[in-house]
């Protein structure tokens, strides 16, 4: 049984229902929505259903778990969610489904209508297998098995990486400095993105008002830019903090495992901006 005791929303589930939970994702501004899978490979949702983010076809709240029949037979490989909230989900077969808040085209379906049911996103992805997804507040990012990155949605700070600040309604490949690179992992902040390539280099783009991109300045970056301050440090795996900054696990030359923090120094809001990566032991 998965330990979900710290999330109050699970108090709405019966003991029998809790026993069947294998994976769960709590989301929403107050943790008022949840999507979970069972040991029987069924997908259930529960909660306030803001903007149809539960994918049930309506905007009605539900205090009882309801099976997400539109994804019947699909197995979840990974999922992420934005602030709206909107959901981006990849299946084990590499398909992408999105639903929920869509005022900024963050669902990638070419509209700004909220998505009440999961929509299969195939534009520019039809021959691709998606292996990782990430969401900013109102933009979306996916990584394919051949190391390409696609982005769409809100783009006021260049977070889609297209070189402009025009919103992107459908998936668009992020190129520029990533054109001939093989990306191995991705992450999103609220309005910025990060990609790590197979050589261990880190590329960032989007909002940079607090120096969170680690480029040595506070100007927004509309296309991918390599973090030069990490020269000689091979990044191997990342984890993400969607509020302020991007963190990475790195393996230095002879230092073993360490952490690199890109952006504002962790701690109180009074901490001064650090526009360069800092090594955190």
Q: What is the pLDDT of residues 130-145, one digit of tens each?
A: 999 999 999 999 999 9
Provide the greatest CA pair distance for the chain.
55
* 276/27 Cα distance (integer angstroms): 31
Count CA within 13 A, CB hemisphere, residue 175: 5
**Which residues fall within 8 angstroms of residue 254, CB to CB, at 6 or more apart?**
none
Looking at 133-142, 144-153, 159-168, 252-261, which range is the least confident one?
A: 252-261
Residues 33 and 27 sit within 8 Å (Cβ to Cβ): yes
State how many domains the chain has: 1
* Residue 40 belongs to a domain: no
Span 3-13, average pLDDT: 91
Q: How confident is the model at residue 267 (pLDDT cuts 50, 70, 90)?
A: very low
pLDDT of residue 192: 97
Span 234-253, average pLDDT: 43
* 61/104 Cα distance (integer angstroms): 23
Q: Which own/partner pairs from 214-222 qualify as long-range (CB within 8 Å, at least 24 positions apart)?
A: 214/262, 214/263, 214/275, 214/276, 214/277, 215/275, 216/275, 216/276, 217/275, 218/273, 218/275, 220/157, 220/158, 221/158, 222/157, 222/158, 222/161, 222/162, 222/163, 222/164, 222/165
* Residue 153 belongs to a domain: yes
* Residue 19 belongs to a domain: no
* Residue 59 belongs to a domain: no
* Residue 265 belongs to a domain: yes
pLDDT greater than 50 at residue 34: yes
Q: What is the mean pLDDT of the chain?
A: 87
* Residue 216 belongs to a domain: yes
pLDDT of residue 3: 85
Which structural domain, as residue segments, surrounds residue 266? 76-280
pLDDT greater than 90 at residue 161: yes
pTM of the model: 0.86
| CATH number of residue 80's parent domain | 2.130.10.30
Strands (E) located in 94-153: 96-100, 115-120, 130-135, 139-144, 149-153
- The DSSP symbol for 70 reads G
Q: How confident is the model at residue 273 (pLDDT cuts 50, 70, 90)?
A: low
pLDDT of residue 232: 83
Instruction: Select from 60, 20, 25 the least CA-distant residue to 42.
Output: 20
Looking at 62-76, 150-164, 197-211, 222-236, which range is the least confident one?
A: 222-236
Joined together, the tokens standing for residue 280 give 């955190």
Percent of the residues in the chain that have a pLDDT greater than 70, as a whole number? 83
pLDDT of residue 278: 58
Q: Are strands 168-173 and 149-153 parallel, antiparallel or unpaired?
A: antiparallel
Q: How confident is the model at residue 5 (pLDDT cuts 50, 70, 90)?
A: confident
Span 224-246, average pLDDT: 67
* Residue 1 belongs to a domain: no
**Token pair 């195939």: residue:** 122
pLDDT greater than 80 at residue 209: yes
Name residue 172's beta-bridge partners. Answer: 151
pLDDT of residue 274: 53
* Residue 37 belongs to a domain: no
Residues 55 and 70 sit within 8 Å (Cβ to Cβ): yes
């Amino acid at each position: 049984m998965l330990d979900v005791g710290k999330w109050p929303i699970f108090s709405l589930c019966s003991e029998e229902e809790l026993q069947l939970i294998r994976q769960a994702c709590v989301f929403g501004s107050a943790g008022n929505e949840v999507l979970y899978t069972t040991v029987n490979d069924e997908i259930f949702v529960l909660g306030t259903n803001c903007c149809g983010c539960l994918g049930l076809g309506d905007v009605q709240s539900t205090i009882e778990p309801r099976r997400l029949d539109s994804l019947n037979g699909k197995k979840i490989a990974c999922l992420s969610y934005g602030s709206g909230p909107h959901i981006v989900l990849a299946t084990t077969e590499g398909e992408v489904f999105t639903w929920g808040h869509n005022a900024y085209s963050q669902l990638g379906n070419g509209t700004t209508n909220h998505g009440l049911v999961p929509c299969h996103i195939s534009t520019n992805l039809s021959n691709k297998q998606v292996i990782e997804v990430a969401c900013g507040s109102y933009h979306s990012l996916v990584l394919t098995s051949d190391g390409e990155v696609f982005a769409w949605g809100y783009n006021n700070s260049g977070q889609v990486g297209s070189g402009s600040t025009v919103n992107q309604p459908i998936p668009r490949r992020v190129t520029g400095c990533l054109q001939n690179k093989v990306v191995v992992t991705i992450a999103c902040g609220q309005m910025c993105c990060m990609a790590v390539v197979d050589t261990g280099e880190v590329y960032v783009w989007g909002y940079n008002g607090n120096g969170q991109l680690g480029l040595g300045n506070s100007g927004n970056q509309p296309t991918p830019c390599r973090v030069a301050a990490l020269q000689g440090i091979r990044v191997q795996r990342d984890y993400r903090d969607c509020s302020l900054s991007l963190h990475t696990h790195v393996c230095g030359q002879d230092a073993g495992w360490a952490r690199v923090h890109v952006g504002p120094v962790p701690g109180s809001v009074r901490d001064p901006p650090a526009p360069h990566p800092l090594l955190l032991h």
